[in-house]
């Protein structure tokens, strides 16, 4: 390929990869503001973050999973189940601390269960977490007989009404999750091995890393974030609802992928997830403020997501074509 | 002189043997992978029948078949897609789209019943084509693509429905008859299901097309090197999956006698469960139609049993999830045995 | 100079014997490496080099024999044991993670730092130190391996080896994918290591490099040590003589196939190039002849075969089939033009293990078995008869054609693939490493088969790095070297010595 053509492809690819999604987010904001004046206000922005708080926080854990080469389809269902557990414990004991710990215990136990199946029995993560999505939802429904369990608590009021430095607790949780996630991903062994696992499990094992153990650690980390997401969810609902956050896991995965972390694992970071998350959150909020009925909502949402996905894949392919050295296999000659 | 350069790490060279005798362990493992699903069906039937006599009543057995029919029909296409290493989450939405489109055509007297059904199926196949092209030509993960399609098509279907006040009664006599009539005491839906299975079974086992599909599932690279148009066939598998989803959708709306926005929302899980239980691996390579049918029946049997025993419907989906896990673990264990 | 006490060799392997079922891989092999030397391990495929090195790396354990380091006996039961003693092996399939940076790869699994947090600064500082000690200044520590060219990736592997307390570095065919410049650069680095007292074991087929860069060379053949020489006391010819065996098994030899020059040209290739791997290849293939294509690993012969079958990218040039120019862009195209390819990886690329023998054999020919053009079902009887016919012709030993492919031996599996293409009745057959990993008896059968196919008028290309096999089987021999077809021999003109010389590049200097 002549050098000038190659260079311009390289520049285009790089540009699209780095800024493409950001541009789309801006585009969305512009469109929605045009259609609805009230879109571009601080209150609405706060709304966007709070409505999608659970999504934002869970997306951090999902980022880790995807970078390490696993899919986690269970996050939404586990949020619902942990929320139900929390509500049940609280309504029985009136002890919020105990309830919150019970919720943590739930997410951690489930993560261990899934993790062992995936890391030690080597079952495909898609199957294990798909199954988990189904059975966790089922257990949640079974425990509550398909009803929600509403409850009141000073904790809930605190979470919903107070603010520190002008920022609500939910948004603080989001901020802290991303900061902690970023730190772990870039500065700790867990983060380093997350990338390693996604890059080449065999080579990582050869280097002496206990890959199974670290896979479990990643699931545990995700479990903690799912727990925080649960807290956000029950706060907003003021109830433990088995039907809560249907489809959350898919939104989270899409957020990570649209953001630019590769589907096969091995690359990505939280900044990308953040933008992807904003994209979905703005999309969710914008479409619903347009007051459209459910069907159109899903139609538009689905199509726009597909467009964004397209963009991401095409820009990646442009980049690959321009820089053949960026070929991830080590095939030797002959 | 044996070429030792290919020796795998730590294991001795393949022994050259002209003896074809298999040892006991291999025989058992073979038998289980061939007949395992059938064995499970029989064992469960015995166990369930023994602990809940109502289970084995003819009427109940017919019920089980009726209940699994829709999912079983969809599982036909899903088996093919999964065999080739893909997956299709959009089948529920496609089912709804087929139902909604057909109903619209009939209710607004755009065309007769037969033609309307064909349009419904055509649209289903079209969605499959879109799925297939995006997955194969653009190399995007089928999980993501069909997820997007699932959302978008559901929305599209609901838009079509909305034109009719967001749901519709199925008034058309032909469509209604599917759910209500019986052929020699076998319910029509079951007949349709069985006929479809027979047709596709014949296609898969007796035609070049079917043989090529299994070849791709067995070793995609080898099939490619034999001149088989792998990409084209994978797209066709998605189209067929769409079509069977549409067929399932028409049967479904007949059974429900109404088309509403929530129809078929989680049905892709059930279809995938049936296929996985039938011994197919989600990473592709195996998948026999007859075993998928057995898989669907197993799920039907279990859920039916739970209902008889009075276990609430909500816990039943919990059981559903566990069933997938069990199937996956068994599949994994049998793989470990043959690899070792 | 003072008389110093004799220094013990850093590594001694004595009387190493290793058996695998049915094969004696190593037979009382002695191998010794001194401190601070570059020692080459030479021998044909199957001579036992990899097995010996795998024993050294702790991957296999020897049935008999002793390993000593600096005079002390050592036991390697696990790869870790060997690494702990400072023996690091770099294989052809490098073990680097493409999505991590150079520095991160160097210290993978052994990152310095506190319990949770990694000390990135130290990683980069120490990596830089290692690179400096190797004299490498043009590798960006922060670059991801994916964007680092292959030659430099090898250097990173060496740096990674150095991050251990390196005593012996084993390199398995490191120069096969490298350009000449990169090779020179690599050996500059290796010389630095040598100066630091590190020993290097260099496994290769490239005798020119052995002569130019190594201190000692040990030749293995058929699992035995033939001898160890000081390189300065020998030359390429001397090494070749050590490698040549007395036993030239007669079953390799086959009858000639008459005058070829007059026969039809079934395939012609003009000005063929494949990316940077092959340039300007021209040849003609006649009916009834067997052409053997050979060369060093990486010389381009595999890419050539793949280009003709339509599974290679970046192909330019002209291919003519019986005089007509054609375009081959997929296996389907190739088959339609009457060309087929049997690859060297029958398991990954040839066999469908879960299907039975018959199904594997008839796979490319399914259209032939339609009951009628309008009735798309397979005529089972016709298929079975046809398959059985070819199974017999090729002598596949199986209890029935309905047996799973998985249950057949390697030789019979290979024969089944041959049967598959014979059934399709194509004129041009390309075999890559046709006898890899199969037993002597089956090999003989395949050679006989090739001969009879040629007699029937088919044109056959055999690609193999086994030069003896090529000599035995071919009517003409093409030698590839660094992507070019440098020599076309007639059977009568070839001797093992001049063939090996051409394989090494002949009189060409880069």
For every one of its 340 residues, what pLDDT tens digit does chain B have, with 9 covering 90 and above?
Answer: 333 333 333 333 333 333 344 566 666 666 666 777 788 888 888 888 888 888 888 888 888 998 899 999 999 999 999 999 889 999 999 999 998 888 888 877 778 888 889 999 999 999 999 999 999 988 878 888 898 898 889 888 888 877 766 566 777 777 777 777 887 778 888 999 999 999 999 999 889 899 999 999 889 999 999 999 999 999 999 999 999 999 999 999 888 887 777 778 778 888 988 888 887 776 667 778 888 999 899 888 888 888 888 877 767 777 878 887 887 787 777 666 555 3
* More confident: A162 or B36: A162
Beta-carbon-side half-sphere exposure of residue C284 (alpha carbons within 13 Å): 11
pLDDT at C149 over 70: yes
Interchain contact, C108 vs A209, CB within 8 Å:
yes
pLDDT at A302 over 50: yes
Asked if residue B259 is part of any domain, the answer here is yes
Alpha carbon distance B56, B65 (integer Å)? 13
Asked if residue B215 is part of any domain, the answer here is yes
Report residue A322's pLDDT band, with 50, 70 and 90 as the boundaries: low
Phi, psi of B281 (to 5 degrees): -100, 135
Asked if residue B223 is part of any domain, the answer here is yes
Interchain contact, B328 vs A128, CB within 8 Å:
yes
pLDDT at A118 over 90: yes
* Chain C residues with beta carbon closer than 8 angstroms to that of B227: 330-332, 334-336, 364
A296 interface with B at CB cutoff 8 Å: yes
B282: nearest CB among A124, A294, A297: A124
Domain residues for the domain of B168 are: 73-265
Asked if residue B307 is part of any domain, the answer here is no
Interface of B with C in 88-127 (CB under 8 A): none
Of the given ranges (A4-18, A24-38, C204-218, C477-491), which has the lowest mean pLDDT?
A: A4-18
Name the percent of chain B in helix, strand, coil, to the closest 5: 75, 5, 25
Q: How far is C398 from chain B (nearest CA, A)?
A: 7
Tens-digit pLDDT profile for residues C319-359: 999 888 999 999 999 999 999 999 888 888 889 988 899 99
Alpha carbon distance A128, C300 (integer Å)? 45
Of the given ranges (A244-248, A316-320, B8-12, C244-248), which has the lowest mean pLDDT?
A: B8-12
The single residue listed with the structure tokens 């067997």 is C290
pLDDT for res B19: 39
Chain B with chain C: Cβ pairs closer than 8 A: 133
B323, B328, B333, best to mutate vs chain A, most A CBs in 10 Å: B328
Report residue A297's pLDDT band, with 50, 70 and 90 as the boundaries: confident
pLDDT for res C249: 44
DSSP-assigned beta bridge partners for residue C269: C283, C319
Of the given ranges (A28-37, A142-151, B178-187, C90-99), which has the lowest mean pLDDT?
A: B178-187
Interchain contact, C298 vs A332, CB within 8 Å:
yes
First to last CA, chain B: 26
Q: Whole-number mean pLDDT of chain C?
A: 86
* Chain B residues with beta carbon closer than 8 angstroms to that of A128: 325, 328
Asked if residue B45 is part of any domain, the answer here is no
Tens-digit pLDDT profile for residues C230-277: 988 888 778 877 776 544 444 444 555 545 555 788 899 999 999 888
Name the residue among C354, A180, A131, C411 with its Cα closest to residue B285: C354
Q: How far is A187 from chain C (nearest CA, A)?
A: 6
Task: Tell me the three state secondary structure of residue C252.
Answer: helix
B contact chains, 3+ CB pairs < 8 A: A, C
Which residues touch B35 (CB under 8 Å, ≥6 apart)?
A: none
Alpha carbon distance B311, A141 (integer Å)? 12
Q: Determine what percent of chain C is predicted with pLDDT higher than 70.
A: 94
List of long-range contacts for B229-235, beta carbons under 8 Å, 24+ apart:
B229/C332, B231/B136, B231/B137, B233/B84, B233/B209, B234/B84, B234/B85, B234/B86, B234/B132, B234/B135, B234/B136, B235/B129, B235/B132, B235/B133, B235/B136
Phi, psi of C350 (to 5 degrees): -120, -45
Interface of A with B in 201-240 (CB under 8 A): none
The full set of domains in chain A, from first to last, is 43-321 (1.10.3470)
Tens-digit pLDDT profile for residues C410-421: 788 888 999 999
Stretch (H or E) spanning C302? helix C301-309
Q: What is the mean pLDDT of residues A103-124?
A: 93
pLDDT for res C262: 59
Report residue A332's pLDDT band, with 50, 70 and 90 as the boundaries: very low
Q: How far is B339 from chain C (nearest CA, A)?
A: 12
B1, B230, B287, best to mutate vs chain C, most C CBs in 10 Å: B1
pTM of the model: 0.77
Alpha carbon distance C402, C370 (integer Å)? 20
pLDDT for res C442: 74
Report residue C50's pLDDT band, with 50, 70 and 90 as the boundaries: confident
Q: Contact B145/B135 with Cβ under 8 angstroms? A: yes
pLDDT for res A109: 96
B152: nearest CB among A121, A123, A303: A303
Q: What ipTM goes with this model? A: 0.81
Q: How far is CA A106 from the centre of its chain?
A: 19
B13 interface with C at CB cutoff 8 Å: yes
Interface of B with C in 195-224 (CB under 8 A): 202, 206-209, 211-212, 214-215, 218-219, 221-224
Asked if residue B8 is part of any domain, the answer here is no
C95 interface with A at CB cutoff 8 Å: yes
Interchain contact, C153 vs A330, CB within 8 Å:
yes
**Highest mean predicted confidence (pLDDT) among A225-229, A276-280, B213-217:** A225-229
Asked if residue B206 is part of any domain, the answer here is yes
Name the residue among C466, C484, C462, C464 with its Cα closest to residue C474: C462
Tell me how many domains chain B contains.
1
* Chain A residues with beta carbon closer than 8 angstroms to that of C93: 330, 332
Angle at C465 between CA C461 and CA C471, to 5 degrees: 65
Asked if residue B299 is part of any domain, the answer here is no
The single residue listed with the structure tokens 């695998």 is C20
Q: How far is C2 from chain A (nearest CA, A)?
A: 44
pLDDT for res C2: 55
Q: How far is C42 from chain A (nearest CA, A)?
A: 19
pLDDT for res A231: 93
Tens-digit pLDDT profile for residues C290-300: 999 999 888 88
Buried-exposed string A118-127: b where 16+ CB fall within 10 A, e elsewhere: bbeeebbbbb
Q: Contact B211/C378 with Cβ under 8 angstroms? A: yes
Tens-digit pLDDT profile for residues A90-105: 999 988 899 999 999 9
Q: What angle in degrees, to the nearest 10, is found between the helix axes of C120-133 and C150-162?
A: 100
pLDDT for res B128: 96
């Amino acid at each position: 390929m002549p050098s000038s053509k190659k260079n311009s492809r390289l520049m285009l690819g790089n540009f699209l990869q780095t800024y493409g999604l950001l541009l789309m987010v801006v585009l969305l904001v512009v469109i929605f503001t045009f259609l609805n004046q009230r879109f571009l206000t601080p209150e609405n922005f706060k709304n966007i973050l709070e409505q999608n708080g659970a999504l934002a926080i869970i997306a951090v854990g999902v980022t880790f999973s995807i970078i390490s080469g696993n899919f986690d389809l269970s996050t939404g269902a586990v949020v619902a189940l942990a929320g139900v557990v929390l509500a049940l414990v609280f309504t029985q004991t009136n002890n919020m601390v105990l309830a919150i710990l019970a919720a943590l215990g739930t997410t951690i136990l489930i993560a261990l269960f899934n993790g062992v199946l995936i890391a030690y029995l080597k079952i495909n993560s898609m199957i294990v977490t798909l199954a988990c999505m189904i059975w966790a939802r089922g257990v949640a429904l079974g425990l509550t007989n398909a009803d929600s369990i509403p409850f009141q608590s000073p904790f809930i009021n605190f979470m919903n009404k107070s603010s520190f430095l002008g920022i609500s607790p939910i948004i603080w949780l989001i901020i802290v999750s991303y900061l902690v996630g970023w730190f772990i991903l870039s500065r700790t062994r867990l983060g380093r091995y997350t990338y390693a696992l996604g890059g080449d499990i065999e080579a990582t094992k050869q280097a002496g890393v206990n890959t199974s153990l670290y896979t479990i650690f990643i699931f545990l980390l995700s479990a903690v974030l799912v727990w925080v997401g649960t807290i956000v969810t029950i706060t907003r609902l003021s109830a433990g609802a088995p039907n809560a956050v249907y489809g959350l896991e898919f939104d989270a995965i899409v957020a990570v992928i649209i953001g630019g972390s590769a589907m096969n694992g091995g690359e990505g970071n939280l900044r990308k997830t953040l933008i992807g998350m904003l994209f979905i959150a703005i999309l969710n909020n914008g479409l619903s403020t347009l007051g459209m009925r459910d069907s159109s909502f899903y139609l538009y949402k689905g199509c726009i997501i597909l467009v964004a996905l397209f963009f991401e894949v095409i820009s990646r392919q442009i980049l690959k074509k321009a820089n053949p050295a960026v070929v991830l296999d080590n095939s030797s000659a002959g | 002189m044996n070429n030792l350069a290919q020796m795998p790490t730590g294991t001795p060279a393949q022994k050259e043997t002209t003896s074809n005798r298999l040892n006991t362990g291999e025989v058992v493992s073979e038998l289980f992978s061939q007949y395992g699903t059938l064995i499970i069906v029989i064992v469960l039937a015995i166990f369930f029948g023994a602990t809940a006599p109502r289970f084995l009543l003819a009427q109940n057995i017919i019920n089980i078949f009726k209940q699994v029919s829709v999912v079983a029909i969809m599982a036909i296409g899903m088996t093919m897609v999964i065999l080739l290493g893909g997956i299709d989450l959009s089948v529920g939405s496609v089912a709804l789209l087929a139902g909604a489109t057909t109903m619209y055509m009939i209710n607004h007297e755009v065309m007769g019943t037969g033609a309307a059904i064909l349009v419904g199926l055509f649209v289903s196949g079209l969605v499959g084509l879109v799925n297939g092209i995006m997955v194969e030509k653009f190399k995007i993960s089928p999980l993501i693509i069909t997820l997007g399609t699932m959302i978008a098509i559901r929305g599209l279907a609901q838009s079509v429905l909305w034109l009719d006040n967001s749901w519709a009664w199925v008034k058309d006599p032909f469509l209604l008859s599917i759910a209500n009539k019986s052929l020699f005491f076998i319910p029509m839906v079951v007949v349709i299901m069985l006929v479809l299975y027979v047709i596709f079974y014949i296609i898969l086992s007796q035609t070049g097309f079917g043989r090529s599909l299994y070849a791709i599932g067995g070793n995609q690279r080898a099939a490619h090197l034999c001149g088989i148009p792998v990409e084209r066939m994978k797209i066709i598998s998605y189209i067929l999956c769409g079509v069977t989803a549409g067929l399932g959708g028409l049967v479904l709306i007949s059974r429900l006698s109404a088309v509403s926005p929530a129809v078929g929302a989680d049905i892709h899980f059930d279809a995938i469960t049936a296929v996985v239980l039938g011994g197919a691996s989600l990473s592709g390579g195996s998948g026999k139609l007859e075993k998928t049918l057995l898989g669907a029946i197993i799920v039907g049997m279990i859920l039916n049993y739970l209902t008889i025993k009075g276990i609430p419907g909500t816990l039943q989906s919990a059981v559903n999830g566990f069933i997938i896990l069990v199937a996956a673990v068994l599949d994994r264990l049998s793989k470990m045995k043959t690899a070792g | 100079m003072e008389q110093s006490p004799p220094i013990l060799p850093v590594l001694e392997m004595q009387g190493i014997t290793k058996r695998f079922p049915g094969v004696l891989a190593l037979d009382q092999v002695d191998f010794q490496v001194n401190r601070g030397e570059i020692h080459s391990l030479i021998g044909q495929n199957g001579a036992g080099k990899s097995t010996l090195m795998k024993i050294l790396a702790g991957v296999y354990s020897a049935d008999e024999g002793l390993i000593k380091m600096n005079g002390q006996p050592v036991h390697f039961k696990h790869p870790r044991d060997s690494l702990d003693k400072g023996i690091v092996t770099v294989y052809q399939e490098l073990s680097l993670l493409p999505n991590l940076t150079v520095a991160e790869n160097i210290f993978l699994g052994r990152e310095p730092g506190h319990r949770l947090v990694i000390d990135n600064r130290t990683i980069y500082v120490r990596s830089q130190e290692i690179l400096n000690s190797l004299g490498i200044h043009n590798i960006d520590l922060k670059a991801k391996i994916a964007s680092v060219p292959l030659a430099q990736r090898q250097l990173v592997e060496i740096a990674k080896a150095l991050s251990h307390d390196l005593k012996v570095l084993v390199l398995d065919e490191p120069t096969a994918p490298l350009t000449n410049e990169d090779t020179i650069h690599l050996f500059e680095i290796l010389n630095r290591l040598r100066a630091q007292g590190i020993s290097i074991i260099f496994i290769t087929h490239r005798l020119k490099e052995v002569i130019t860069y190594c201190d000692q060379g040990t030749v293995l053949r058929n699992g035995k040590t033939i001898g160890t020489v000081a390189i300065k006391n020998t030359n390429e010819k001397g090494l070749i003589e050590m490698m040549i065996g007395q036993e030239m098994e007669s079953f390799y030899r086959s009858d000639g196939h008459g005058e070829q020059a007059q026969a039809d040209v079934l395939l012609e290739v003009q000005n063929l190039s494949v990316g940077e791997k092959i340039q300007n290849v021209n040849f003609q293939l006649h009916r009834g002849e067997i052409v053997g294509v050979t060369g060093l690993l990486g010389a381009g012969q595999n890419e050539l075969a793949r280009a003709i079958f339509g599974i290679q990218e970046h192909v330019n040039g002209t291919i003519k089939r019986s005089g007509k120019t054609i375009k081959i862009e997929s296996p389907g195209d190739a088959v339609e033009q009457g060309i087929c390819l049997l690859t060297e990886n029958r398991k990954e690329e040839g066999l469908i293990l879960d299907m039975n023998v018959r199904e594997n054999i008839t796979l490319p020919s399914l259209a032939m078995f339609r009951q009628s053009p309008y009735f798309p079902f397979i005529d089972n009887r016709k298929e079975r008869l046809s398959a059985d016919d070819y199974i017999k012709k090729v002598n596949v030993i199986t209890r029935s054609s309905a047996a799973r492919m998985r249950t057949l031996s390697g030789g019979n599996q290979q024969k089944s693939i041959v049967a598959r293409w014979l059934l399709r009745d194509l004129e041009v057959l390309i075999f890559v490493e046709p006898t890899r990993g199969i037993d002597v008896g089956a090999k003989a059968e395949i050679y006989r088969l090739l001969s009879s196919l040629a007699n029937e008028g088919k044109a056959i290309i055999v690609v193999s790095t086994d030069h003896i096999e090529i000599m035995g089987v071919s009517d003409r021999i093409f030698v590839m070297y660094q992507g070019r077809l440098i020599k076309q021999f007639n059977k009568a003109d070839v001797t093992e010595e001049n063939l090996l010389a051409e394989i090494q590049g002949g009189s060409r200097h880069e």
